[in-house]
């Protein structure tokens, strides 16, 4: 599972704005929400990797996880 490109673009834009100036309350809330979604995705990926490793997959080569066309 991945997040849409727009998600990353919005995070980048908000972080850049935050460095230049302060964010509005709405922008700060949006940034926090997007970062929480990202953190949840990273956690799910990590949990999936652990599960696959326990099932005998060699996780030293993440290319084995790429879908086969």
Each residue's pLDDT, cut to its tens digit, for the chain (69 residues) gives: 688 899 999 999 999 999 998 999 999 999 999 999 999 999 998 898 889 889 988 888 767 666 655
From the list 28, 30, 32, 29, the residue with the least C-alpha distance to 40 is: 32
Helix (H) or strand (E) holding 33: helix 25-54
Query: The whole model's pTM is what?
Result: 0.74
């Amino acid at each position: 599972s991945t997040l849409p490109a727009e998600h990353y673009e919005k995070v980048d834009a908000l972080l850049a704005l935050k460095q230049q100036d302060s964010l509005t309350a709405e922008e700060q809330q949006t940034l926090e929400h997007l970062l929480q979604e990202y953190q949840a995705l990273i956690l799910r990926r990590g949990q999936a990797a652990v599960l696959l490793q326990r099932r005998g997959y060699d996780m030293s080569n993440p290319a084995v996880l790429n879908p086969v066309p």
